[in-house]
Structure 1
Amino acid sequence: MDTTSLTWRPLARDDAQAAADLLNAMETVDRIGENYTAQDTLQELVDPYADLERASLAAFDGDVMVGYMKIRYKRFAQEVHRVFRDGGVHPDHRRRGIGGALVEAGVAAANTLHTLHHPALRLAIDVHKAGHIAGLAELLGPLGFAPVRYFQRMEHPLGAALPDPVIPGGLRIAPWSEDNDEDFRVTRNEAYADHWNPAPWPADNWKNKIANHTLRPEVSFLFRDAADGTAVGVLVANHWEADAAVTGVRDVHFMVVGTIPAYRHRGVAGALVGHALRAAAEHGFDRASVNVDSARPAGASGIFTNAGFTSKRPYVRWALEF
């Protein structure tokens, strides 16, 4: 196909269904375990840090979206402004130049947003993809992208064999609610402040990415110091109905797991994970999952391995650094 025969324009909020259709078509080949409804893709399109007009592009063959890219910038950054490029091409339209055109457009858009928001910092453009997807090196390498970080998707089947969770002494636990949602966000930011790419999440980003229609309050918990009420550890879980509809497996994903530095090495994270696993099983989930950074300073992979999670799928974070 000649790419000039396609219609190219920025993404719009009205593209939610077309985007879901594209992503679901990609899933039939890529098999990364992600399925979408229009509500899910709309959540991405209304992201306050996705500047659709300046930093997105979609290719259409008639009414069918056959490829897209969008860039997310950060409100807060230190030293390096790491923007995130998302995108993909319909399996029936791959290896026809669409992917390369979208990657090049993404680099240009990232530079535009960087100049607008953090011109004094260095820029890095991140692309996060499952390691088994073919052609990534050939697509990204010529533009200077290189692997900079590695992640694992880990999974835990849920059932009656789960041990009873033990709350560390001096702590009390509370489930998520609208009243304590801000404590969850603030605790997450403090817990992740010394992790790789540690930019804090502002409230609008938290609401868009975490506290949305996929949040599972019954599997999301906060630990507090019983003496003074300080929030010291957090676990937030989300669930996508589209995945369950396709696979028949109700998976609950641990999106955020963290302990503030002063309370590490006291069993807080392990207790949160154990408590969430038991709650997930009691609420009818079949499996728990988590994405783990290979080099997180708090040793998260060990926590999850000790809890019974096993690695299922590697991911690679590619980056173009300026």
Structure 2
Amino acid sequence: MPADIAQLIRRPIAPTDAAPLAELLNAIEVVDVFGEYYSEEDATDQINDPVLDLERGTVGVFDGDRMVGFSSAAHKLHVEDVHRVTVSGGVHPKYRRRGLGAELLAAGVASAEALHAIHHPDLPLAVDVQNNALNDGARACYQAAGMTPVRWYSHLRHPLGAAVVDLPLPDGLVLESHSVDNDADFFAVWSDAVLDRWGGVPPQLEQWRAFLGWSAFCPDLSFLLRDVDSGTAAGMLLTFSWDADTAATGVRDANVQRIGTRRAYRRRGVASALIGQVLRVARDAGFDGVNIEVDADSPSGSNGLYERAGFTMDRAEVRYSLNP
């Protein structure tokens, strides 16, 4: 039997907690279905995010050496209007329906407020959480805390194989794979593109480098389109693939984590060409599918772009927000 909730240990998550965090996340995945499994190395990458304040922004709940719940609040370093702090968390299925989820959500909101007071006290604060649209327990917990749905996201999957459609590159653009030499161009494109997205803020170079340092990053499945005449980087796409997902499911998928086009090059087929390229290369490399998360409310109509390329809906997620 699980220990009494009051007897569980609460403390900030430490760098040495990667193994129990991975075990907890994998137990949560079985029930809540985010399409994500974790190795200890993957959990280490999450804990070592350079902008995550472990002491002020995280809480781990332990039953002995076993992590049975957690919350984390990820603040933004540079913000122009609203400081959106993203709170993540979860409770082991065997420890649910005992108030621990509500406790951890409250802890995450308190962490968000504390970090906001340190970094952006003069700006409005929004606390965001995101979860599977079918998770009724999470939705009830968020609503009880006064959170309301503000955004919907589609998780799409392409089966590759014969469903891959060849698309030509736009005139005047050439394709490059990611390398050390052009990484700055990838970063520059993303820095421009993300500003037009809901809640988008300028990315930080330190966090970018840490992200691309993850073992799951696939440089041979990450592409840049460059203007032949000016040399300007027009669009980019970054792909990751997690071995823990493959080990747990037997399915080896590529996951597009970033895709963006500079404003001056939009409506020229840049995103379509990048998607077509990653589909072809992933198919030829023996992947089973390609996944991507799409903002269902995006003004760019990106859902239609992916549907035309052969993607179909896998699951939906909802983002809830609170303005404390």
Question: Matches of 1:295 and 1:210 in 2, distance apart?
Answer: 27
SS in 1 for 2:224: strand
**Deviating runs (4+, > 6 A) in structure 1?**
none
How far did 1:30 drift? Answer: 1.5
Separation in structure 2 between the aligned mates of residue 211 and residue 278 of structure 1, nearest angstrom: 24
Distance 1:62 1:158 in 2: 45
Q: Structure 1: how far apart are the matches of 2:91 and 2:164?
A: 41
* Distance of 2:246 and 2:159 partners within structure 1: 14
Given that 2:86 and 2:129 are in contact with CA atoms closer than 8 Å, whether structure 1 keeps it comes out as yes
Structure 2: runs of 5+ lacking an equivalent: none
The residue that corresponds to 2:89 in the other structure is 87
Q: What's 2:239 paired with?
A: 237
**Alpha-carbon distance between aligned partners in 1 of 2:309 and 2:140, rounded to the nearest angstrom:** 38
Aligned partners of 1:52, 1:149: CA distance in 2, in Å?
Answer: 27
Q: Kindly tell me: are residues 161 and 129 of structure 1, through their superposed partners in 2, closer, same or farther at Cα, counting changes over 3 Å?
A: closer
Question: Partner residue of 2:209?
Answer: 207
Q: Is the 8 A contact 1:153 1:311 kept in 2?
A: yes
TM score, norm. by length of structure 1: 0.97
TM-superposed CA distance for 1:317, in Å, is 0.4
Match of 2:100 in 1: 98
Determine helix, strand or coil for the equivalent of 2:259. strand
Give the structure-2-normalised TM-score: 0.97
Deviations 1:246-272 (A, max 9, x none): 111111011111111111111110011
**What is the identity, as a one-letter code, of the residue corresponding to 1:253?**
N
Asked if the contact 1:81–1:122 (Cα under 8 Å) also holds between the matched residues in 2, the reply is yes
**Contact 1:165 1:278 (8 Å CA) reproduced:** no
What's the offset of the Cα at 1:164? 2.7
| Match in the other structure for 1:259 | 261
Corresponding position of 1:219: 221
| Aligned pairs, number | 322
Matches within 5 A, 1:123-272: 123-272=125-274
Q: Distance in 2 between matches of 1:214 and 1:141?
A: 35
Kept after mapping to 1: 8 A contact 2:72/2:87: yes
Give the Cα–Cα distance (whole angstroms) in 1 for the partners of residues 130 and 184 of structure 2: 28
Amino acid corresponding to residue 10 of structure 1 in structure 2: P
- 5+ residue gaps, structure 1, are none
1:66 has 2:68 as partner: yes
How far residue 2 of structure 1 moved from its aligned partner, in angstroms, is 3.2
Question: What is the root-mean-square deviation of aligned Cα atoms in Å?
Answer: 1.1
- 1:160 shift after superposition: 4.1
Mapped to 1, the partners of 2:291 and 2:197 lie a distance apart of: 20
**Secondary structure, in 3 states, of the residue corresponding to 2:195?**
coil
- 8 Å CA contact 1:194, 1:297 repeated in 2: no
1:49: Cα distance to partner?
Answer: 1.4
2:108 corresponds to which letter in structure 1? G
